[in-house]
Amino acid sequence: MDRRTVLGGALLLPAAARAEARWDAIVDPRTGTLGKALERAAAAGGRPFRILVREGVLVEKLTIAVPNVTIVGSGPKTVLSFGTYAGLKHPDGNVWGTGRTGTLTVSAPGTTLRNLTIRNSFDYIGAQRDTAGNGAQAVALTIGREADRTWVDRCWLEGYQDTLYVQSRSLFTDCRIVGGVDFIFGGAAAWFERCEIVTRFVPGAAEFGFLTAPSTPLEQPFGLVFSRCRLGREPGVPARSTWLGRPWRAGGNMALTGQSVFLRCWLDAHIKREGWTWMGYKGPDGEQRRLTPQEARLFEYASRGPGAGPASSTRRMLGQADAAKFTRATVLGGWDGFSG
């Protein structure tokens, strides 16, 4: 018997069918691919296109190239995974380089990602063990310069070095971001709210990396801003072993004075007392230089927990008036993610 019901001349669908009708495409990892769903989104020509992904693992390397795509998973066990790393040889004869390694790359505006895990599965620990770590940058999620108004909600982002590369205005809410070296980086104005930022354990490591590497342009008032986040660590990561970050002057561009700000965050004991450190770059004269925390825009306000440290020349604290300038609305230029 047809389970659909006709009432008053209208076709009524069961509740499950009505729920599925909300989606333009539904992906079951056992039988389909997210790549095929994104091809259908491209054919839609930019109209809002909603994709539901059921629980399972998708081994794909993908780009969202059309506007207004929403991808919703079924929770952390909905996994998109791939293992490209910077030093790997590309089919064009060059190496991939950091910017091309993303498991998922967003290169169009108005993208929403929700309830899924995005993972770069490159064997970073094995590469370190075998002293093959050069070119070990391996991005899970890249948000490109054209990807304005990207909202990432309740997602798990997993990698080791360079997990999240964010280059345009973005909002992250209730996410879990896991990595080790410079694992949240880029020049975007981005707001991270109630996120868990987790430092990974690497056997034999003397230090355990840097949470952020901002490359914010000087004329841009806001960079990577973390509000009410929790900075944690995997078992084995020792106390006072991890930097909040270091400023990245990408390509020696003197106009980049990276900004990272932590507002009302809880910090575990793995955070170093000094907070921030320098990052090297090659100046216009070809000489090797250092961009120091004092030259960059690296700040905290009302940090809590065992990793909260005293103010110093490298660990600068905002006053209440300056901290009040950092809100979701100001950082994101009036866009809040919920209004499209």
Tell me the three state secondary structure of residue 26.
strand
Distance CA 197, CA 179 (A): 8
Beta bridge partners of residue 171, listed in sequence order: 151, 191
240 backbone dihedrals φ, ψ, rounded to 5°: 55, 45
User: And the tokens for 153?
Assistant: 């909600």
Say if residues 137 and 161 touch (Cβ distance below 8 Å): yes
Instruction: List Cα–Cα distances, 195 to 12, 40, 252, 279, 293, in angstroms.
Output: 41, 32, 31, 25, 24
Q: Please count the CA atoms within 13 angstroms of the CA of 283 that sit on its side-chain side.
A: 6
E strand segments, 112-180: 112-114, 117-120, 141-143, 150-153, 156-158, 164-166, 170-173, 176-179
Gap between the Cα atoms of 111 and 285, Å rounded: 40
Determine the Cα–Cα distance for residues 28 and 73; give it in Å rounded to an integer: 10
**330 backbone φψ class: left, alpha, beta (φ>0; ψ -120 to 50):** alpha
- For 241-262, b/e burial (b = at least 16 CB within 10 A) is bbbbbbbbbeebeeebbbbbbb
Question: What secondary structure does DSSP assign to 239-308, as a single string?
Answer: TT-BEEE----GGG-TTB--EEEEES-EE-TTB-TT-B--EEEE-TTS-EEEE-TTTTEEEEES-BSTT-
Catalytically active residues are 162, 182
Hey, what's the torsion of the CAs at 91, 93, 94, 100, to 10 degrees? -10
